[in-house]
A = this chain, B = another copy of it.
């Protein structure tokens, strides 16, 4: 029998314990051994819980129990979990985690510390979708050309609603909070940080590159407006919060931000709380993985997949995908060097010469216009909504600066990158 300790028995932890009980027979037949959740740790023992596992409020009861083979870390936070999993590994216990923030900051240290002990984290990325499995073990023949992911259900739910119902961001945020799809303080999700943590982990598996959240471009969905959604629809795009990884020669791009993406792309069809990750390999072409990105049972499904893997074969694949070091020559691309197409929303005075001014500024910075709509807002102001051909991030930033300094806009310009 394999004994499992669960540190942090919240929604996911309770699901892990309950599924191990509910589906015990088939899990045992697949693993070749019984898997028993023997002890769970919570901070408040008095809270009512519907969960089939013995509980304690003392983490050391799990860490010091020599009969426990696998520790499941579901604590939330970064440094406390880091200390806990390090102790577990030092005691030779395998670790399974869902903690994307922990891995965003400490994954290479943990790979080092774990050594030959299994450390698995399928549940940290895209909930129940076995994406780590696919990327790390299913696509090893390939140079990964790109990864594009919708990996935050809160943002995707909100944007899908904005598209379907035409309402504004603040209204949707409030609704989402009431339904439990967004937190009271939603920043971590709507600001793109949660998605960024997941992207960093995938970037390491794909490229062998280490990077921290501070190193990459992260923008959230807080500034998306109904006008943006309408422009996108007009030209058959959807707006999604996308995590993007790309390899361009020896540079790796890692970035998270809203995008206009053509409706014809499979990833654009991922709606609501669902997640989707498109991975293009140089030999396999485009693959995509789709499923629920969150939820107790869906996330627990991924945790248990790791537990069964460990039961079957101990440590399997190298934790972050590479047995020997690789990619020293690969460098993280500087944000300013990003090349893509851009959508701009400019609120201007409806006066003679404004359009010409804007066009001239763009031209000066090597930016050419692909599509444009001018929409009067009232008798004095208008929206200029335009998309550019591919150009460089530093040039767009300079152009936006010049546009503001020229005094032609009456509000902060909006910019959304286009992923064509």
Chain A at the B interface: mostly helix, strand, loop or mixed? Answer: mixed
A140-B31, A290-B287, A297-B284 given as contacts; is B326 within 8 A of A26 (CB)? yes
By the criterion of a CB under 8 Å from any partner CB, how many residues of chain A are at the interface?
Answer: 64
Cβ-defined contact, A305 with B138, below 8 A: yes
- Are B285 and A288 in contact, CB atoms less than 8 angstroms apart? no
CB of A190, distance to nearest CB on chain B (Å)? 24
Complex partner residue of A323 from B29, B304, B321, CB under 8 angstroms:
B29
Residues from 312 to 328 in A contacting B, C-beta threshold 8 Å = 312-313, 315-318, 321-327
Kindly report which residue of chain B lies nearest to residue A279, judged by CB atoms: B291
Also in contact, A32 and B133, with CB within 8 A (given A142-B23, A283-B23): no
Interface residues of A in 100-135 (CB under 8 A from B): 122, 128-130, 133-134
As a 0/1 sequence over residues 265 to 304 of chain A, the CB contacts with chain B under 8 angstroms (1 = contact) are 0100100000000000111111111111001011011111
Within 8 A of B (CB), among A30-79: 30-33
Q: Which of B141, B269, B308 is the one whose CB lies under 8 Å from A141?
A: B308
Q: Is the CB of B323 within 8 A of A139?
A: no
The reply to whether A291 and B286 form a contact with Cβ atoms under 8 Å apart is yes
B31, A128: Cβ atoms closer than 8 Å: no
In angstroms, how far is the closest chain B Cβ from the Cβ of A381? 39
Question: Is A301 within 8 A of B326, CB to CB?
Answer: no
Question: How far apart are the CA atoms of A59 and B391 in the complex, in Å?
Answer: 55
Chain B residues whose CB sits within 8 angstroms of the CB of A288 once the complex forms? 288-291
- Least CB distance, A31 to chain B, in whole angstroms: 6
- CB pair A30–B305 under 8 Å, yes or no, is no
Q: Which residues on B sit within 8 Å (CB–CB) of A298?
A: 283-285
Q: In the complex, A305→B138 CA distance in Å? A: 5
Q: Is the CB of B133 within 8 A of A326?
A: no
Q: A137 an interface residue at 8 Å Cβ cutoff?
A: yes
Q: Is A8 an interface residue (CB 8 A)?
A: no
CB of A29 to closest CB in B, whole Å = 4
Q: How far is the CB of A169 from chain B (nearest CB, A)?
A: 26
Tell me which residues across on chain B come within 8 A of A26, comparing CB atoms.
Answer: 143, 326
List, in ascending order, chain B residues with CB within 8 A of A284's CB: 128, 291-292, 297-298, 301-302
Q: Which of B25, B130, B313 contacts A316 (CB 8 A)?
A: B313
A2 within 8 A of B: no
Residue among B281, B309, B313 making CB contact with A301, cutoff 8 Å: B281
What are 17 pairs between A and B in contact, CB < 8 Å? A26-B143, A26-B326, A27-B141, A30-B323, A128-B284, A130-B138, A133-B137, A140-B304, A140-B305, A141-B305, A285-B291, A285-B295, A286-B290, A287-B291, A290-B290, A313-B315, A313-B317
Interface residues of A, Cβ cutoff 8 Å to B: 15, 19, 23, 25-33, 122, 128-130, 133-134, 137-143, 208, 266, 269, 281-292, 295, 297-298, 300-305, 308-309, 312-313, 315-318, 321-327
